[in-house]
Structure 1
Amino acid sequence: MGFKGRIAAVSITFCFHTLFVLYDVSRYGRLDALILSAYLLILPVAYWAGFQFDRIKAESEKDPLTRLYNRRYVLDSYSRLTMRASRQLGKLFVLMIDCDNFKTINDRLTHEKGDLVFQRIAALLRTHTRSTDIVSRWGGDEFLVIGEYNGSEALAAMLNRIAGELENLSLEMGIPISATIGSAVYPDDHHHINELIKIADREMYSYKPRTKEEDAFLAYDLIDHL
């Protein structure tokens, strides 16, 4: 959660009340102790109001199920990320991650189990990406990750870590859990976020097996998990 609301509320309140104090001194030629002590009341109130703003804003940027950032936050942050990358002559990667068989998991193992799987995948992505990366739920069973691109080897290493942890999660939960991932690079592939997502999405689906549900569930007797 950010601090902009609290900083703005306290700063504006302090400035306006200080102007009022100065006006009162210039008008009456003395400093009123009661008016001066009002700082002790109005600044905490301003801080509380700013905190409520920060809390509501933070909630509006998060997906309620996974607590990852949502699509709105990604779109609002994209220009800031690209400006920083341009200043540093750097690049950004965009990953589209689609959870395989998620509909089948929901249908066969109840939506509660499906939500738990989704939350575990979200936690896994937070753990195995960098703190500067933006990890978001893009919609449905898709995640989006944007971060500083440090070369294909570093990106491949991240993807290998994610794939390995998904395999471990699959064994831990006794459910076949996997994901198909597509990528794009700013500015090499495109400058606009929507086009980068389309490129990553096309790459993702070009590798997705046609019989993904049959293949993923072939070695599992899901009836045992009901």
Structure 2
Amino acid sequence: MGCKGRIAAASITFCFQTVFVLYDAAKYGRLDAFVLAGYLLVLPIAYWAGLHFDRIKAESEKDPLTRLYNRRYVMDSYARLTMRASRQLGKLFVLMIDCDNFKTINDKLSHEKGDLVLQRIAALLRAHTRSTDIVSRWGGDEFLVIGEYNGSEALTAMLKRIAGELENLSLEMGIPISATIGSAVYPDDHHHINELIKIADREMYSYKPRTKEEDAFLSYDLPEQH
């Protein structure tokens, strides 16, 4: 959660209170202890109001199910990310991650199980990406990751870790869980986020076999739902 609301509210309140104190001192030729004590009253109120604003803003940037960032946060943050990358003569990677079999999981096992799968994938992505990467739920069963690009080998290693953890998650939950991933690189592939997402999306679907859902579920003994 950010602290801009608290900083702004406290700073503005402090300035207004200081102006009031100086005005009162100029008017009466002395500093009034009662007026000075106003700092003790108005600053906590300002901090509380700023805290409330920061909490609301933080919630507006998160997906309620997975607690990942949402699409709005990604779009709002993209300019900041590209500016930082440009200053450092660096690059960014954009990953589109689509959960395979998700419709089948919902249809055969229940929407509650589908929600749990999304939550577990979200936790997995948070654990196996860097703290500076932005991990978001893009919509439905799609996730988006944006981060500093350190070369194809580093990106490939991260994708292998994610794939391995998905296999472990499949074994743990007893259902087939996998993902198809497409990538794009800023600024090599494009400068605009929408175009980078389109490129990563096209690559992702070029990898996705048409019969992956059916083959995966035919090879598993699914638990009965009650």
TM-score, normalization by structure 2: 0.99
The residue number in structure 2 matching 1:54 is 54
Distance (whole Å) between structure 2 residues aligned to residue 4 and residue 192 of structure 1: 27
The residue number in structure 2 matching 1:199 is 199
The residue number in structure 1 matching 2:220 is 220
The residue number in structure 1 matching 2:74 is 74
Structure 2 spans left out of the alignment, 5+ residues = none
Distance (whole Å) between structure 2 residues aligned to residue 97 and residue 112 of structure 1: 21
Distance (whole Å) between structure 2 residues aligned to residue 218 and residue 160 of structure 1: 25
The residue number in structure 2 matching 1:24 is 24
Amino-acid identity (%): 88
TM-score, normalization by structure 1: 0.99
The residue number in structure 1 matching 2:122 is 122
Aligned pairs (5 A) from 1:52-201: 52-201=52-201
Which whole-Å deviations, capped at 9, do the CAs of 1:92-126 have from their partners, x for residues lacking one? 00000000011110111111111111100000000
Give the secondary structure class of the aligned counterpart of 1:89.
Answer: coil
- Over the aligned positions, Cα root-mean-square deviation in angstroms equals 0.8
Task: State the shift of 1:221 in Å.
Answer: 2.1
Distance (whole Å) between structure 1 residues aligned to residue 63 and residue 142 of structure 2: 12
The residue number in structure 2 matching 1:15 is 15
Which whole-Å deviations, capped at 9, do the CAs of 1:154-204 have from their partners, x for residues lacking one? 000000000000000000000100000000000000000000000000000
Distance (whole Å) between structure 1 residues aligned to residue 7 and residue 62 of structure 2: 22
Distance (whole Å) between structure 2 residues aligned to residue 117 and residue 7 of structure 1: 38
Aligned residues: 226
| AA at the equivalent of 1:212 | K
Distance (whole Å) between structure 2 residues aligned to residue 161 and residue 152 of structure 1: 14
Stretches of 4+ aligned residues off by more than 2 angstroms: 223-226
CA distance 1:170–1:225, shift in 2 (3 Å): farther
**Is 2:37 aligned against 1:37?**
yes
Task: State the shift of 1:225 in Å.
Answer: 5.3
Structure 1 spans left out of the alignment, 5+ residues = none
